[in-house]
Amino acid sequence: MKRIVAILMISVITVFSTTAFAGVPQLMNYQGRLLDSGGDPLDTTVSMTFTIYDDSTGGNVKWTETQSSIVVTDGLFDVLLGSATSFSDTSFSDPDRWLGIEVGSDPEISPRTRLTSYAYAFRAEEAASVEDGSIVLDDIAQNGAATGQVIKWDGSQWTVDDDDTGSGGSGDITAVFADNGLTGGSTTGDAHLNVGSGDGIQVSADLVSVFVDDFAGDGLTTTGNDLEVNTGTGLQITTDAVELTSPYSTGSAYDARFVNEGQTDAITTSMILDGTIMFQDIGPNGAVPGQVMKWMGGSWMARNDETSPYWIVQPDSVLYTQNYWGLARGGAGNILNGPFAYTMVNWGVNSVTGSAAATSQFSTVSGGDQNTAGNDYATVGGGFTNQASGNSATVSGGNMNNILSGADYGFIGGGVENTIESLFGTISGGNFNQLTPGADYGAVGGGQNNVVAEHPYSCVLGGQENNIIGVLGQHNAIGGGWRNVIDHGRWCAIPGGSDNNVMPGPGPTTDYSMLFGQMVNCNMPYEVIFYDAVNFGAFMLNRDDFDGPQLGAITVGTNPANGNGAFLSWGGVWTSTSSRDKKENFEEMNGAEVLRALESLPIESWTYKGSTERHIWPCAEDFVKVFDVGITDAATGMRNDKHLAAGDMAGVALAGVKELARENRELKQLVEELMQRVEELESASQ
């Protein structure tokens, strides 16, 4: 269901008889706003039926017409009523008229609109002007006139009055005035007029005499009492006429001064009498309907009327075009392409909106130089030689950035020579960054020479020469750094660092892995690795023992070359490197000294502060003091006496056990020797 809101109606409300008022337009302008049932403005083309009734409901139809293709834009439409079916003499013969509207097959919109007078339409009851000669005597009412009276102007209005000089009139002449050539006159009594005398004129009792000698000169001469005309050049005197001689009689003698009919370039302003040029004297000079004559600095030319029907000014001072217009900066080499150029905006220099090879529309170049918005809804904000050739693509600015045709809905924020060839791609800035075909929904935050290639849903946030490429490369991320590559994994991440690589391995994929640091190479899935190629430090997390040959779930160390490392086994046991091949600086332990040291070492049961967890082993200060083991502080050269290695305590225990075993063996041998002597003594006593 649609509903219509009338917002403006400017029309000739009373349509007069076409016979009596042939010059009155037989059309009525009507504008309205068409909304859907939710109150939103429509954009469509519809059929509408307009009907004039003599009542607000029901009533008789006085006129109706249907217009089948009315364009509605943002809810607004504009029609000329009477363009399909002419109004009749009875359409507006009564002041009570209502307009009903039907949209398509919908029922008539309720309520109907009452037709009322526009401000100056009230003058229709008393005509402001009539055609010359159109009023005849029968049209004039008696207005109280008696027989013989006339219509007379009394100084402020026309009234009925006596005819002073007509039949039945009477009265005296109250004044006689002398005019040029006369003297005398009077306002009372008898009045006399006399012929005035002057140069060459003499008045006597009954005679007026002219002295011709007083008029001689300037083409006149006298002979006796005769006044003669000097013929001179171009004149001749016949019996009863003074005539022009040829070429004056034919007019050719005046060609240098006067213009012949059809002669061009001959009229000058001094030859034209002010106020004599009429509208019909002025040719169209290339003007189209609605244009005006406008001074363009050097001449008058036909141009658009700035207050013509091409523009509309709302009461809130908003200026907008009556129809779809394309706007462009003039004199700047800009081009608006395609049949829909009127929907485009181009404020740049040497810039292009639309495509000469396609029907582009709604494209915008906001500024800059040599920019191109070459597809539907494409936008270039500014900059230099930027191109937005994908549908709904946007390049905000920068230099030589390019969203190729087919890379629809892409966005480049700025930078230099960034390129998008995939759908829904984003490059925020930087330079020489690229989203290749297939890298849909990919993103590059900035940096230089970063590439997301072939597969979707991946991003490089910054850095230099970072790449997400390869057979498998979707849903990956590189945070930054330099020369980092993910070329075989999915759902992988390299937060930063340099020369890190998620690469093909023995398995089908290297999914779900994350790398930090420098020169980390990962070819297995589910790994988290930190590696420093300069100081040979590594920290690696592995998911389980069947994903590869890793030693354990967590691996640490300072130098893989000499084995100073450890790992957490899959069974949860912390295991340290202890190969003789990885060790040096061996010292033999004195078991007796170890036992004596153990005797002096406090062995206590304790809990960590704030904890209920209880353990038994020595404190680091006591252990390090007795056995001098552990790491050395590089700054002080002193042993670290705050931490203990489990291996050191195990080593001391083993050394003690070993010494006890030796002592036990010696005691056992001594016992055996003593037992033998006892047996010998017992045998001797018997």
Poorest-pLDDT segment among 78-82, 184-188, 593-597, 639-643: 184-188
The residues, any chain, with a CB within 8 Å of residue 195's CB and separated by 6 or more, are 181, 182, 183, 201, 203, 208
Indicate the pLDDT class of residue 10, thresholds 50, 70 and 90. very low
Q: Is residue 21's pLDDT more than 70? A: no
Residue-wise pLDDT tens digits, 106-133:
899 889 988 886 645 555 555 545 566 6
**The predicted structure's pLDDT at residue 7:** 39
* pLDDT at residue 386 tops 70: yes
Per-residue confidence (pLDDT) for residue 129, from 0 to 100: 53
Q: Where are the beta strands (DSSP E) in 248-296?
A: 291-295
| CA separation, residue 380 to residues 14, 211, 389, 435, 644 (Å) | 52, 96, 10, 19, 66
Region 463-481 average pLDDT = 84
Distance separating alpha carbons of residues 164 and 174, to the nearest angstrom: 13
Please report, for the chain, the start and end positions of each structural domain, with discontinuous segments joined by +: 2-123, 591-664
More confident residue, 151 or 408: 408
Q: CA angle 446-451-457, nearest 5°?
A: 90
pLDDT value at residue 313: 52
Q: Which amino acid is at 191?
A: A
**What topology does CATH give the domain 2-123?**
Immunoglobulin-like (2.60.40)
Element (H, E) at 208: strand 208-210
pLDDT of residue 84: 92
Q: How confident is the model at residue 306 (pLDDT cuts 50, 70, 90)?
A: low
pLDDT tier, 323 (very low <50, low <70, confident <90, very high otherwise): low
| 3-class secondary structure, 148 | coil
Residue 28 clears pLDDT 90, i.e. is over it:
no
Q: Which residue has the tokens 């181009």?
A: 346
Residues with Cβ within 8 Å of 457's Cβ and at least 6 positions away in sequence, in order, are 440, 441, 442, 474, 475
Give the pLDDT score at 9: 40
Phi, psi of 414 (to 5 degrees): 170, -150
Look at 595 and 575; give whichever has higher pLDDT.
Answer: 595
* pLDDT of residue 450 exceeding 80: yes
Q: Do residues 436 and 454 touch, judged by C-beta distance below 8 A?
A: yes
Handedness of CA 58, 62, 67, 72 (dihedral sign): negative
| pLDDT score recorded for residue 5 | 46
Task: For residue range 327-385, list pLDDT tens digits in order.
Answer: 888 888 888 887 777 788 888 899 899 887 778 889 999 999 999 999 999 999 999 99
Q: Which residues does 643 contact at the CB level (< 8 Å), separation at least 6?
A: 620, 630, 631
pLDDT at 24: 62
Q: Look over the chain and give the mean of its residue pLDDT values, rounded to a whole number.
A: 80
Q: What is the model's pTM?
A: 0.45
